[in-house]
Amino acid sequence: MTVIDEIKKLKAEKNAVILAHNYQPKEIQDLADCLGDSLELAREAKKTDADIIVLCGVMFMAETAKIINPTKKVLIPNPNAGCKLADYVNPAMIKAERKAYPDAEVVLYVNSTAESKAEADITCTSSNAVAVCKSLKSKRILFGPDSNLASWVAEQLPEKEIIPLPYGGCCPVHAEIKPQTAREAKAAGYTVICHPECPKAVRDECDVVASTGGMLKEAANADRWAVLTERDMTYRLKCKYPEKEFKGYESAFCENMKLITPELLRDSLRDETTEVVLPDALIKGAGRAIERMLNI
Ligand code: 13P
Ligand code: SF4
């Protein structure tokens, strides 16, 4: 039996569902029951009837699935799949900023640890960051850990004072993308789309700024795209729009997203590893901030 057949058999036997992020390797994308951006995966994890959720993505995504559906068994095939951006803030840093800005509400990007989320008023993803900030009563908002996303939100909402958490947090994959890349793609006739985690200098050169889920919708509007985000996003786009051209960039590569392989996914289903286990208090604390976001 092939690894793929084993995965299909185990999944049926155990009533498991495979949720995978849009940056997963092609072979994992092909095996997923649901592919999506961070928000879509969270919503799917909340509503699933499956007994087991296997999250093919990075740890904060698996933690989020567990927090919003704690009675399910949530597995991540490789527990080493972290997110470098998530490590830029911790609870002590958030508490210190709250003291410095007592009138501000804290919006935390889901690319953060469960411990940090428990200190936030509300979480957001890249697809709803603007809507989340807009929904808040307070004019002042402490936002982190991604300083690029913070500046993107500030541009969209001039009526708010968006204060980035002061640790220069950024995604190393998107921070490496250069404005010149966008300019060259435009000169070559591409419509250029980038993720809001890209630096402002890059965003300013692009035609469209969107989350990975947003990219899948925006792609309907042109035929030749240069896609300035993690490289496997182009596979996802090509599957949805086979008639269109999507130019990706090999160097835009999230090594953590590639730590999931079909063999590890098979082992995870077979041995029910690695289970995401979080203390009840943390589930409650972080769950409050995530649920508030999901209700927007
Ligand atoms: P999305 O919310 O667009 O899926 O982005 C998640 C992410 O990790 C981007 O680097
Ligand atoms: Fe984290 Fe960046 Fe990888 Fe997304 S692409 S998971 S933000 S390191």
Q: What is the pLDDT of residues 129-156, one digit of tens each?
A: 999 999 999 999 999 999 999 999 999 9
Find the helix packing angle between 280-294 and 59-68, rounded to 10°: 90
Q: Residue 215 CA: which ligand 1 atom is closest?
A: 3
> Burial level of 289, CB count in 10 A (0-12/13-18/19+)?
buried
pTM: 0.98
CA distances to 5, 24, 136 from 8, in Å = 5, 18, 44
Tell which atom from ligand 1 comes closest to the C-alpha of 174. Answer: 10
Verify whether ligand 2 is closer than 6 Å to residue 254 (CB atom): yes
pLDDT in tens, 64-80: 999 999 999 999 999 99
Interacting residues of 60 by C-beta distance below 8 A, sequence separation 6+: 83, 86, 110, 111, 112, 113, 114
**Which ligand is nearest the CA of 252, by number?**
2
If one compares 87 and 167, the residue with the highest pLDDT of the two is 87
Main-chain dihedrals φ then ψ at residue 193, nearest 5 degrees:
-125, 140
Ligand 2 atom with least separation from CA of 84: 8
Cα 10 to chain centroid distance, Å, stands at 27
pLDDT value for 162: 98
Nearest atom of ligand 2 to the alpha carbon of 197: 7
**256: Cβ below 6 Å to ligand 2?**
yes
Ligand 1, residues 63, 108, 195: which to mutate, most atoms within 8 A of Cβ? Answer: 195
36 C-alpha to center of ligand 1: Å? 9
Burial label for 220, CB within 10 Å (0-12, 13-18, 19+), is exposed
Q: Report CA(190)–ligand 1 centroid distance (Å).
A: 22
Confidence of residue 167 (pLDDT cuts 50, 70, 90): confident
Q: What is the pLDDT of residues 79-105, one digit of tens each?
A: 999 999 999 999 999 999 999 999 999
Q: pLDDT tens digits for 105-128?
A: 999 999 999 999 999 999 999 999
Question: Which pLDDT does position 40 carry in this prediction?
Answer: 97
CA of 264 to the centre of ligand 1 (A): 22
Structural domains present in the chain: 3-81+257-277 (3.40.50.10800), 86-170 (3.40.50.10800), 177-251 (3.40.50.10800)
N-term to C-term CA, the chain: 45
Question: Atom 8 (ligand 1): residue with closest C-alpha?
Answer: 111
Nearest to 125 by CA among 205, 57, 25, 226: 57
Q: Is the CB of 38 under 6 A from ligand 2?
A: no
In the predicted model, what is the mean pLDDT of residues 246-269? 98
What pLDDT, on the 0 to 100 scale, is given for residue 75? 99
**pLDDT tens per residue, range 227-247:** 999 999 999 999 999 999 999
Crossing angle for the helix pair 280-294 and 38-47, to the nearest 10 degrees: 110
Most ligand 2 atoms within 8 A of CB, residue of 256, 258, 259, 260 to mutate: 256
Using alpha carbons, select from 286, 256, 232 the residue that is nearest to residue 58: 256
Q: Give CA–CA dist 198/168, Å, rounded.
A: 13
